Structure formats: C-alpha cells, structure tokens
Structure 1
Amino acid sequence: MAETPLHIPVLLAESIAGLAIQPDQLYIDATFGRGGHSRAILSQLNESGRLISLDRDPTAAQAAEQLAYDPRFEFIHTSFSALPHIVAERNLTGRVAGILFDLGVSSPQLDDAERGFSFMHDGPLDMRMNPTEGQSAAEWLATASQDEMADVFRHYGEERYAGRIARTIVERRDLQPLTRTSELAKLVASVSPSKERHKHPATRVFQAVRIHVNRELDEARDALAAAVEALQPGGRLAVISFHSLEDRLTKLFMRKESERPQLPPGLPLRDDEIEDNRRLITVGKAIKPSAEEIQRNPRCRSSVLRVAERLP
C-alpha cells in the first residue's frame, strides 16, 4: 500500500510533553487524523504500553492501516463521541494514563476539494467528517428554515450578517439548490457589506455549517466528560483547539472540573468541611504555537493547547 502523505501535526512536542507519557501505560488519541500525534506517542511507549486511536474519517482509517503491524496500537473507526461506550465496554474507567484531542478539521480534509470543507477549492458541498453518515451541508442548506440557518451562522460562526445570508440562501434555493462550495462562497461574499483583511467573507459561514453538520461541539462535550471518567489518578487530558468556540468549551469544562463548589457567604463551614468534588487540576497555562511553528505551518496560528490532570 502506498504511504499516505502526512500533514504537519500541530503543537506536537507541547502536546506530547503535556501528556507526561509513562512508557508502560495506556493512552488514547481521540482524533487520529493522519497519525502524527499517534506516532509520537507510540515512539515513547515500551512493549507493555498501548495506544488506542479513534477517528470517524474513512481516510484516517486508511492512514491508520500503516500502523496495523504494531501490536501496541489499535484503531477504532468511530467518532470520539463514542468514547463513553468504548470506556464502558472495555472496562477502562480509571485506567487510562492520557487522552489527546485535536479538535476541528485537518489540513488533508481542507485540501481535498471532494470533501467540501473549503471555500478555496470548488467541490461538492459536503463537509461531513464521515461522508457515509448523516446529512451533508448541501442537504441541510436545502431544507433548513431561514431562522435555523441564521441561528447556526450566528452561534457557530459568530457571523454578524447571519440573517441577511440566511435570507439570501432561501431566495436562491427556491430557484436553484446550492450544491458546490464555490456557489456558497460567492453567495456569502455577494451579500457581506464589509470585508476583513486576509479573511474571506465566507470563512465564518463555512465554519458554522461544518460545526453544525458534524455536531462538533456536542460531540466534544460528551467526549470530554467521558475522558475524565477514563483517566486514572495523575492521568493527563490534553486538548488542542483551533477556534474560539472549541477553546471556550474546553476552558470552561476544565475550569468547572477543577474548581471547588462555591457556597453562599456566611455559612458556618471551614474549608476542610466542604466536600471537595474536583476531578481535574489544570496544568500550566494555555499554550500557543511558537513563531517558528507558525512559519512552518501557517494554519496552526489559531491553535491552543490546554492540559489538565486527573485528581484522585
């Protein structure tokens, strides 16, 4: 089998350091992608170590075949939202030493015009992480109400012209359905009154549609909660995000899991009498890519890594 070209894994050294890998332990790479992070984890494991990697993208499953020879490695072709079921079925609660999430869309997905993720390449308006499951972007745009579309553009894309764009899509689809990425990009550009330097007018709408079609934020919430259950005491959770919505979700989740309960002032309780139900403690501050990494890989410039450790 020909070797699948590797994309550049983002914040590779920083995320591997954040996992604080112990060579004989079990790790989960919740987003295999093209395997850059998984290979780095495997390189630090001894013969007793083990890595389980997940991904719902069929092309990621093909790339994972290159590691099938390694008895320490197992690939599961599924979304990371299946993590609760995997943890339960395999009795992994409290047994995993580290879990890594690399959220969002990967460079190979963006660069493949047939996947429909990018407004830079004309292709079918699909955007599904797994093209064999669920509703494509074109199908959703053909059936969603104007209010639903506006709400998605506003909340998942932070698009200021959400209502105007949604109304124009409804008017356009009554004449001819949107089926190509170039059609959607041109439509959004035509009704966006202001232009941002170095940012295409369709950037936010494409992000919003992709997040909605793939349920990305809902999937991340479910998977992060399951990850905490799976981690053993001292186990590490490392999450790489690429836009503010993902990072905000991760930050708030880690903050909630690492803060002691806030009680009303004036209660006659000492600190040692308050039940400490924290499950995580954050490790260091948010990490962003260096200038050197951004120069090598400009697409990583918005990435953020956050790390937390499981408490006993």
Structure 2
Amino acid sequence: MAMTSAGTHIPVLRDEALAALHLRRSGRYVDATFGGGGYARAILAEPETRVLAFDRDPTAVKAGEALVDEMGGRLTLVEARFSELEDIARAQGFAPVDGIVFDIGVSSLQFDEAERGFSFRAEGPLDMRMGGQGRSAADIVNAADEETLADILYFFGEERAARRIARAIVHDRNIAPFETTKALAGLIERVAPNRPGDIHPATKSFQALRIAVNEELEELLNGLIGAERLLGEGGRLAVVTFHSLEDRIVKQFLAERCGRGETGSRRLPGEPTPPAPSFVCAGRQPVTPTSAETAANPRARSAKLRYATRTAAPAHPLDARLARLSRLPDRDKGKA
C-alpha cells in the first residue's frame, strides 16, 4: 500500500477493487486484511455501510481503534486470521455479506519496521511472524533439515538456488545460529549472488520463509473458501495479490467456481458432472496497476486484482488439486 503525505494509507488498486465490490448503500462488507484501514475507510464512505474487518497483527488492530471509534459502531475490527472470517462473521450475526475484499501479503508498515524481521535491507531479528505467535523464521532456519529448507525456498520462493542456499544454511548454523535478517541475507548474497541489475539475491528466500512462517497460502485458500460460503447471492469478491503463488491460487479457485475449470470433454467416463458455478467472473482479468500508480509506489508493480460475483449455487467442495497449490508437495512424490 502507499501512504499520502497526511499519513493515510492507500491500498494498491484501491479504486479498482472498490469498483469491483460495487458498493451498496447500507451494505455489509468484510475487509479481510485491515492493515492501515485503507479499504475499510473507503467502504465506510458509502452511506450506512457496515464493515467487519480482520487483521492477525495486534499492532494493526491497536492502530485501528481510532477508526473504530470514529465510525460510531459501523466498523468492527477483530484480531484474527482471515481463514476464520466465516465463523466469526456468523457468530456476530454478520451474514450473509454483500462484499469481501482481500489485500494479500505484507503491508508496507510491516516491511518498514526492522524489528518485525520481514526485510533483508535493515538489521532486525529473523522473525517474520505477522501475529507474533508460533514459529519464527529463525526457528525454521535453525531447526529444519536441509531438504525441508530447500523445499520451502524452492516451492514458496521459486528460488533456483534453493539447494545451494539450504546446504550453506545447515553448514553455517552449526557454527552459529542465524538470529538476524542481515546474517541470513549475507549468507545468501555470498553463496547465490545475482547479476548486476537483478533483484536482491535474498528476495525470494525471504518471501519463502515469510510464507512458511505465516502459512500464507493455506490461509489464502481457506479465506477464499470462507468467503464463498459467507457471500450472499449477488455479493462481490475482490482479491489483490502480489506474487505468482498467490495469484495462481486465486486464479484457479475462481476458474473452478466460475465453471472455467476442467471441461466436460476432459472428464473421464463416469466422472460426476461438476457443480453449478458459484461465482460469475466478468471483465478482463487480472486488473493491474496503471503506470502512474507503479511510478508513485514501486511495490505496486506486481499487484493483480481478480474479482467475481456470487451466484445462488451452493458452495463447492474443496478440490484436491487446488489444495495442493497451498502447501509443500509430499516428498515421496518427487520435486516439481
């Protein structure tokens, strides 16, 4: 997300995502990734709307209390993972809803706080936990076996030098454990340097560890499944992603739900007819940022928006092929 001089956070592709939500007066909406409150504030600018917002980061929830007070009961902000959005919304009587927006990934605020350990560009603890609980990146780097580390770096970071980096990590941690972002980034620069002009050599590895620490791909898939169940007929889903792994899950999820998955001619004899489409996907997708937005905010350059409208059809069961996209493959099935 970007930040104005006044300190207001503007999510990437905000206007396009709001257009996809097609806001209704008095509508009920879920902001699955509250962050700096950019989407919630924009939705609440529509008269009489109500928003149920989620963030697993207690710092973001604390910072959002002022907006909750400002909105006088129209905004409810919950500290929780968005994979829990359906259960929490139903428990609060906030169902069905008219729209749900996801802005996937790490916020600029989290990247810019060195003590959170998300960035290799500043010295900080090797943490990367969005909610401050569970395994940290240091726990994984210092305890996982070489093959697991290589799998994480390859499948979650698409890092070609995954095995070389994993081997070096295991060697060096026997001398001293990795505790800081700079220590790990320095090792990666040493063993897998990039050519001049390429992205920083640690970029993909840090992405991979962040995804593993926060279980981001499983969270995304479970959040989409919850959204499908929570949206009412005609409700809108809008999802902004920032790298290919996230976008692949959203793309395939919507392809299946919009009836664009396996065609009848590809089904084996005796296979059941696929369920009726639970979403309608319209328009040219994905939507990407304008050149003006990427010039103002370079972090926007990889963003993609996909969106769809809920039909009256029942929610689909989870497809095993889709589930496989959200986790590491079984080792006995070989590497991709």
TM norm. shorter chain > 0.5: yes
The amino acid across from 1:139 in the alignment is D
1:178 paired residue number: 178
Q: Confirm or deny: 8 A CA contact 1:51 1:73 kept in the other structure.
A: yes
SS of equivalent to 1:239: strand
**Alpha-carbon separation, structure 1, partners of 2:194 and 2:157:** 16
Change (3 A) 1:265 1:75: closer
In the alignment, is the contact (CA less than 8 A) between 2:84 and 2:226 conserved in 1?
no
* CA RMSD after TM alignment: 2.0
Q: d(CA) in 2 for partners of 1:287 and 1:257?
A: 19
Return 5+ residue gaps in structure 1 as ranges: 268-273
The question of whether the paired residues in 2 share the 8 Å contact of 1:165 and 1:188 is answered with yes
Instruction: Look up the equivalent residue of 2:126 and give its one-letter code.
Output: L
Q: Deviations over 1:168-215 (max 9, x none)?
A: 000111000000000110100101154362410000000000000000
Match of residue 105 from structure 1: 106
Whether the aligned pair in 2 keeps the contact of 1:54 and 1:75 (CA below 8 Å) is yes
The corresponding residue for 2:127 is 126
> Which residue in the other structure is 1:230 paired with?
230
| Contact kept? 2:287, 2:306, Cα under 8 Å | yes
In structure 2, give the amino acid aligned to 1:126: D
1:164 paired residue number: 164
Write the letter of the residue equivalent to 1:19: L
CA contact (8 A) 1:7 1:107 kept: no
**Residues 69-104 of structure 1: per-residue CA shift (max 9 Å, x gap):** 2211100011101123214424555x1000000001
Moved more, 195-204 or 167-176: 195-204
Partners of 1:6 and 1:300 lie apart in 2 by 17
Deviation at 1:24, TM superposition (A): 0.8
Identity level (%): 44
- The TM-score with structure 1 as length reference comes to 0.91
Report how far residue 5 of structure 1 moved.
4.0
The separation in 2 between residues aligned to 1:196 and 1:289, in whole angstroms, is: 27
Residue 68 of structure 1 aligns to a residue whose secondary structure is: helix
Matched letter for residue 55 of structure 2: D
CA contact (8 A) 2:120 2:202 kept: yes
> How many residues get paired?
300
Deviations 1:28-60 (Å, cap 9, x if unpaired)?
00000000111000001x23x210000011121
Q: 1:5 to 1:259 in 2, by over 3 A?
A: same
Distance 2:217 2:9 in 1: 24
Match of 1:37 in 2: 39
Q: Is the 2:194–2:200 Cα contact (8 Å) retained in structure 1?
A: no
